[in-house]
Amino acid sequence: MNKFFMSEEDSDFMPIIPINESDADQEKLEIAGAIPILPLKNTVLFPGVVLPITVGRDKSIKAVNEAYKGDKLIGVLAQRNAEIEEPEIKDLCQTGTIAKIVKLIKMPDGGTTVIIQGKKGLNC
């Protein structure tokens, strides 16, 4: 078989979220008021992509917990400079992604990991 084309049997990919998720689900995405913002260092989330994120900053943990208790939607913006520990609005990119928290995992060491899926572009 051509090395650039793989059949389904050759692929080791197993999606976390079903690929056939309906487009209608994305159209129903309604944001009531403000949503919490999760700044990411050295990472960009795109719509449709699923990412596991280890959340360490107190403000980020609070934002994730707040979103998880509600509609599970959170705004995800990349930081302009990953060395800034307490980013402000001016330290974040203005374009990001609205994500849905698929799973929230409290780790044994006290940390928090979230699995998020990008849903829709976000412009601040």
Q: What was the pLDDT predicted at 6?
A: 44
**AA letter at 44:** V
Residue 56, both tokens = 């360490």
Q: Sorting pLDDT into bands at 50, 70 and 90, what band is 65?
A: very high
Strands 37-40 and 73-78: parallel
Place of tokens 């989330």: 45
The mean of the pLDDT values for the chain is 82
In three-state secondary structure terms, 116 is strand
pLDDT in tens, 66-96: 999 999 999 999 999 999 999 999 999 999 9
Lowest mean pLDDT among 1-5, 24-28, 115-119: 1-5
Helix (H, G, I), strand (E, B) or coil at 37: strand
pLDDT at position 37 over 70: yes
